[in-house]
Amino acid sequence: MPEPVLELREVEIRYGRLPAVRNLSLTLERGEIVGLIGPNGAGKSTTLHAVMGLVPLHSGTMALRGAPLRGRPEDRARSGIGLVPEGRHIFASLTVEENLRLGLSARRSADGTAADREWVTSLFPVIGEFAHRVAGTLSGGQQQQLAIARALIARPEVLLLDEPSLGLAPIVVETLFQTLATIREGGVSILLVEQRGALTVGFADRTHVLANAELRLTLGPGDAGDTQHLTEQLTAAYLS
């Protein structure tokens, strides 16, 4: 059995003395989409930030293809982790093209840049269309696409997505999730933090439910069939 692309083992993260995440273990295989859902403050975003190196681990280990994950955020970006942060954080005063070009900072070599650029542009045609617009003038959905494109152009092995559907219309969300499926087919593994529980459970290969800094429950796409049962399960987990 091949090594998982990303593996978190017994991870604990603290803010001061308060644990934000406790005893969290999870794995992400190549091309997998793993969901992470839970109420606000459950520790979902914190987990992504820890993988990116934005917050330190208190204990536990994280590994990328078996090698321990260390260093500053820029080092992790360069070793194959891409983050699409909550709220997108595109550079509003730079052009779309410049935002995209910044994504290239994480590449170790220029080989294959043209092909990846083409791939990204085919996933998000809007990027090519508005290349020379100032990014701040794009709509919310377009900005979200730009943020994903910017992370993808470095060809990360792992894509960390923090609530990509936030503030988007349902129809836009549907398109977005379809695109995520295409991205996974390109060999990228996705760790997807979401508020939309049912949608994520039905979409991801596995979905972990976090509440109160701990993992409560792991669900598969099959669990999404019985909506009422799923809601009951999630409610119980959220409140536990």
Partner 1 sequence: MTFLQSLIDGIGLGAVYAVVAVGIGLVFGVMRLVNFAYGELITAGGYTLALLSGAPAIVAIIVCFAVVVTLALIQERIAFRPLRGASPATMLIATFAVSFLLQNVYLLIFGSRGSTVGTLGQLNEAIAIGSLRIRYITIVAAVVGAALLAGLTFVLNRTMIGLQLRAAAADLRTARTLGVRADRVITAAFAISGVLAAAVAILLTVQSPLVTPDYGVSVTIFALVGVVVGGLDRLVTAALGGFAIGFANAFVGDLLPSSGSAYLPSVVYGLVILILVVRPSGLFASRRATAAERV
Residues that bind partner 1 (CB under 8 A): 52, 54, 72-74, 77-78, 83, 85, 89, 91-94, 98, 101-107, 150-151, 154
- CB closer to partner 1 out of 192 and 234: 192
The residue among 93 and 228 lying less far from partner 1, judged by its C-beta, is 93
CB 139 within 8 A of CB 145: no
Nearest CB to partner 1, comparing residues 9 and 72:
72
CA 60 vs. chain centroid, Å, equals: 21
What contacts 234, CB < 8 A, 6 or more positions away?
37, 197, 198, 209, 217
The least distance separating partner 1 from the CB of residue 116, rounded to whole angstroms, comes to 14
Query: Between 37 and 48, whose beta carbon lies closer to partner 1?
Result: 48
CB of 7 to partner 1, least distance (A): 21
Name the nearest CA neighbour of 159 among 77, 90, 230, 94: 77
Nearer to partner 1, 52 or 217 (CB): 52
Shortest Cβ 91–partner 1 spacing (Å): 5
Residue 78 Cβ, how far from partner 1 at the closest point, in Å?
5
Answer for the pair 198, 223: CB distance below 8 angstroms, yes or no.
Answer: no
Smaller CB separation from partner 1, 12 or 98? 98
Q: Name residue 141's amino acid.
A: G
